[in-house]
Every structure is written in C-alpha cells, then in structure tokens.
Amino acid sequence: MDLNKAIDLVKAELVQSRFEHTLRVAEVSKELAVVYGVAVDKVQLAAILHDYAKNWPSEKLKSYILDNGLPRELLDFDKELWHGPVGAHLFENQYGVVDQDILNAIRFHTTGRAEMSLVEMILYLADYIEPGRSFPGLQEVRQASEKNLKYACWLVARNTIMYLMKKNATIHPDSFYAYNDFTRYIK
C-alpha cells in the first residue's frame, strides 16, 4: 500500500485529533528510522496505519475479534488493547499488506511483546513520545530515544505498567513480556 493511500484511508476513519496524532507518530517514526538505520517507508506505513481501528465502537471491535478468529483472550483485557490486533488483521486480509514486520508493529503497538523488531520498537516508542503527548517521565524517554532504543522502550514499558498498576488496571501478559525482555537487555 502506498503512503498517500494509507493516509486517505485512515483520515476517513479517525476523528481529527487522532488523525493528527497519527501524522505526528509518522514524523517521529521517520526520525527514529533514520537514527537507527531502518527502512523509512516501512516504519512510516506502520505508523500511518497503527491506530486505524482506534475510533471504532467497542462492540464493532468485539465482533471483529470474534468473527475473524482473533485471540478470544483479548476480550478478557481492556478495550484499549483491541484496536492494534484488529487493524493488523484488517490490513493483512482486506488491504493486502504482506510485510509481517509492519503488521506486527501495528498488532503489538499498545502492549509491546518479547523480542520486538526494530520497526516494532520504533512505532512503540514514537507512539509514546510524539510531541502531542504529556506523560509523567516523558522528558527522560525523549532524551533516551535517539541514544538507546531498547533503554527508551524499557522506560515506556515500565512507565506504562506502573501507570496501569496505580489505576488497578489489568495488564496484558505481552506488556510484561516486553518489560522483562527490555529489562534483561539493559542489565
């Protein structure tokens, strides 16, 4: 899929503020791709598509998961975790995206997972640090982002888990797998 088609497709699907977030994630992804020597076009396509299903009503996401054989256990976790796997499935099956690295970056952008690829890490990080965000501890992550990709991703995983635990939220195993994997690397 070419980038302009992807932009048109997501623009039609997202509210304006979410579309603008998407463009900022694409811009940050491009910068990180240059720093880490990753194919810019791949990272940008993943970024443009990553939140495609974000504004779907939760009932629509739920039906999509059930009707298309996505992991049922997703439904035991927060609705926020549904849009990545649904988007990845949809682009693979309805739009002919074949690059598994791009699809995995979309699929796992919310939780992360163990052994993430460079493309996956860049999207995971860019989604967190794009200039429209304001999380506690964000400055530290931004500073680390162009120096040490895995350390920056470790901060994202750690901050996200700490934030979720403070809210007494359930946490998906992939979020812990990502955290553990990055922790082993930075030690």
The region of 41-49, 64-72, 108-116, 179-187 touching ligand DGI under the rule CB under 6 A is: 108-116
Site membership for Fe ion, residue 130 (CB under 5 A) = no
Q: Is 51 in the site for ligand DGI (CB under 6 A)?
A: yes
Contact with ligand DGI (CB under 6 A): which of 44, 105, 127, 129? 127
Stretches 31-39, 100-108, 138-146, 166-174: which one binds ligand DGI (CB under 6 A)? 166-174
Q: How many CB atoms neighbour CB 131 within 10 A?
A: 10
Q: Which residue is nearest to Fe ion (CB)?
A: 127
Residue from the set 78, 93, 143, 184 that interacts with ligand DGI by CB under 6 A:
78
Closer CB to Fe ion, 51 or 120, in the complex: 51
Q: What's the token pair of residue 164?
A: 């979720």
Smallest distance from Fe ion to CB 72, Å: 21
**Residue 145 Cβ vs ligand DGI, minimum distance, rounded to whole Å:** 15
Measure the CA–CA gap between 55 and 28, rounded to whole angstroms.
Answer: 22
Using the rule CB under 6 A, is 160 a contact of ligand DGI?
Answer: yes
Tokens at residue 154, please?
Answer: 């470790």
Q: Applying CB under 6 A, does 42 fall inside the site for ligand DGI?
A: no
Interface residues with ligand DGI (CB under 6 A) are 51, 54, 77-78, 80-81, 109-111, 127, 160, 164, 169-172, 175
